[in-house]
């Protein structure tokens, strides 16, 4: 327990739970199926959510310094943002990487960069989330090698890779391989980690980017859970037992401005996932149908106009995530519509979580808005509407088939267009954009990246390529290509490749030779 006494500022004692009080209270218990009220019986009384601030910019060295700053100020887990070339599996010296090195995240070309990224950070003590998809198997391989060099075994490391390729095809766009080959890599990760990296969350099925692309809350739930069903089905069809990997599935949701709808969304998603898993796959381990999720507040809701107003938006969204029962949380910095977060703005974002945790009282009771007429009504509506949408996707043959037809993409585009029309007409008011306008004067100080960082990254990569054993590199890359053309698990060969200083782009290219690449149909 976090405290000895649970009471309000006035000294009123706070019960742990209220599920039996009030005519509209739920009869369900937190910590028990279908988990509408939370996945743990005591929720944050026993342990707070993980405050996991997303960070990554410029060089591995600078990002390492930001990680240490955030850990020193109370953050409990790390979350890595990679630059666009890394997200697309390209080395910094690729011609297409020019102008993008280190811009929206950290550039990682090799194990040497990963070593620098986590220098003096004990990987057996800190959990790490990596927002990476197409090349997820390679970045996790690098992380495993770095941990081993610290003396930390694969079985000891904890964290998550996003590894959610379906939402890339649907909403985000950083896909590389055709869908069937991408799904094969995901299944190989599931299988390998089940046996060798048991504490690692092998996928974070993401509604975040679906929402950022313009979906509604209902669509976010429906498309995320539909994608999750596709991953589970694919892994089961590949021969994995559902209970061998499903307990390590995790989810990643957006938290937008509609406070009560967002709380209800999280409650509905937990119940719906439990019901869908039970009906489709009949797992015997209760954790296989338990929806655990990370939340990030809505980047798309942040405004460049009057940016300090974003602190209020972030606070409302973060409070909704806590009241909805999130397991970990990232709060955006107020200046992110203008540039990468400064040290000051990143600290304010972290302190926002700490104020909610220690001063608001929201973490003192299980499911604090359970039993609310409004929240219970919204929970039921989101559940039923999302379920209907999933059934529509099932009629296509599942999330993959529907995506290939462009169904989810078109629906998100339509929702985004409708929202834009409401803002432009003034029907939906956005403070600082179409309401509450003012002469702002000078904006806040923004983070400026040193342009020399890109050249340093290129120089380091060139030196690595000159100093390594090229014969061993060629052997490792040939082995990856050969395995890609077969059916064996490719993960051990990728680990061996990066251990021998094969670069991210080289490993990706060795698979491209066999898998090819994918271009989305026009209009999607």
Domains observed in the chain: 43-360 (3.20.20.240)
Q: For the chain, how many residues are written?
A: 524
Residue 105 is given by DSSP the state S
Q: Which residues of the chain have pLDDT under 70?
A: 1, 19-27, 522-524
The pTM for the full model equals: 0.93
Q: What is the pLDDT of residue 446?
A: 82
Q: What is the pLDDT of residue 23?
A: 45
Residues 6+ apart with CB under 8 A from 324: 255, 262, 263, 264, 265, 266, 267, 295
DSSP string for 435-469: BS-----S--------THHHHHHHHHHHHHHHHS-
Distance CA 174, CA 482 (A): 25
Q: What is the pLDDT of residue 27?
A: 63
Using CA atoms, how far residue 273 sits from 34, 133, 305, 392, 393, in Å, is: 8, 22, 38, 16, 15
Distance CA 485, CA 464 (A): 28
Using CA atoms, how far residue 520 sits from 397, 405, 524, in Å, is: 19, 10, 7
End-to-end CA distance of the chain: 49
- pLDDT tens-digit readout, 259-282: 999 999 999 999 999 999 999 999
Radius of gyration (C-alpha) of the chain in whole angstroms: 23
Beta bridge partners of 203: 249
**Residue 350: other Cβ atoms inside 10 A:** 20
- pLDDT tens-digit readout, 131-186: 999 999 999 999 999 999 999 999 999 999 999 999 999 999 999 999 999 999 99
Residue with tokens 């026993």: 46
Beta bridge partners of 205: 251
Instruction: For residue 335, give both structure tokens.
Output: 């200046």
Under DSSP, is residue 302 helix (H, G, I), strand (E, B) or coil? coil
């Amino acid at each position: 327990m976090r405290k000895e006494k649970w009471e309000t500022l006035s000294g009123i004692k706070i019960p742990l739970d209220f599920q039996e009080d009030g005519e509209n209270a739920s009869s369900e218990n937190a910590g028990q199926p279908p988990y509408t009220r939370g996945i743990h019986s005591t929720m944050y009384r026993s342990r707070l959510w993980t405050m996991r601030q997303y960070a990554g910019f410029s060089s591995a060295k600078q990002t390492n310094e930001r990680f240490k700053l955030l850990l020193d100020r109370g953050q409990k887990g790390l979350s890595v943002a990679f630059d666009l070339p890394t997200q697309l599996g390209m080395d910094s010296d690729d011609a297409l990487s020019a102008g993008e090195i280190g811009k929206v995240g950290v550039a990682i070309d090799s194990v040497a960069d990963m070593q620098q990224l986590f220098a003096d950070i004990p990987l057996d003590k800190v959990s790490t989330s990596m927002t990476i998809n197409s090349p997820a198997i390679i970045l996790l391989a690098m992380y495993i090698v770095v941990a081993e060099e610290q003396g930390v075994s694969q079985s000891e490391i904890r964290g998550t890779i996003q590894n959610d390729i379906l939402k890339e095809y649907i909403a985000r766009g950083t896909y590389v391989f055709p869908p069937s080959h991408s799904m094969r890599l995901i299944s190989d990760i599931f299988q390998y980690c089940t046996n060798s990296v048991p504490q690692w969350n092998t996928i974070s099925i993401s509604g975040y980017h679906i929402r950022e692309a313009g979906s509604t809350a209902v669509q976010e739930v429906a498309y995320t859970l539909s994608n999750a069903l596709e991953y589970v089905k694919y892994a089961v069809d590949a021969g994995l037992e559902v209970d061998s990997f499903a307990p390590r599935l995790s989810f990643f949701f957006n938290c937008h401005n509609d406070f009560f709808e967002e709380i209800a969304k999280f409650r509905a998603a937990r119940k719906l996932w439990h019901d869908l898993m039970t009906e489709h796959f009949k797992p015997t381990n209760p954790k296989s149908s338990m929806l655990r999720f990370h939340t990030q507040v809505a980047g798309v809701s942040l405004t460049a106009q009057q940016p300090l107003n974003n602190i209020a938006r972030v606070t409302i969204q973060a409070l909704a995530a806590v009241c909805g029962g999130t397991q970990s949380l990232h709060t955006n910095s107020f200046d992110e519509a203008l540039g990468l977060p400064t040290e000051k703005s990143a600290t304010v974002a972290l302190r926002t979580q700490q104020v909610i945790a220690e001063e608001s009282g929201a973490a003192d009771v299980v499911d604090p808005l359970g039993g609310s007429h409004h929240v219970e009504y919204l929970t039921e509506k989101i559940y039923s509407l999302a379920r209907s949408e999933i059934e529509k996707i099932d009629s296509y043959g599942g999330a993959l088939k529907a995506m290939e037809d462009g169904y989810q993409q078109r629906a998100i585009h339509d929702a985004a267009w409708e929202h834009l029309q409401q803002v432009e007409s003034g029907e939906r008011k956005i403070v600082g954009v179409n309401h509450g306008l003012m002469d702002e004067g000078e904006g806040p100080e923004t983070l400026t990246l040193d342009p020399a960082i890109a050249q340093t990254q290129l120089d380091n990569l060139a030196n690595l390529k000159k100093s390594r054993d090229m014969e061993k590199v060629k052997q490792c890359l040939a082995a990856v290509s050969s395995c890609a053309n077969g059916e064996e698990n490719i993960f051990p060969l990728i680990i061996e490749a990066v251990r021998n200083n094969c670069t991210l782009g080289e490993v990706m290219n060795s698979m491209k030779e066999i898998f090819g690449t994918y271009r989305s149909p026009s209009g999607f």
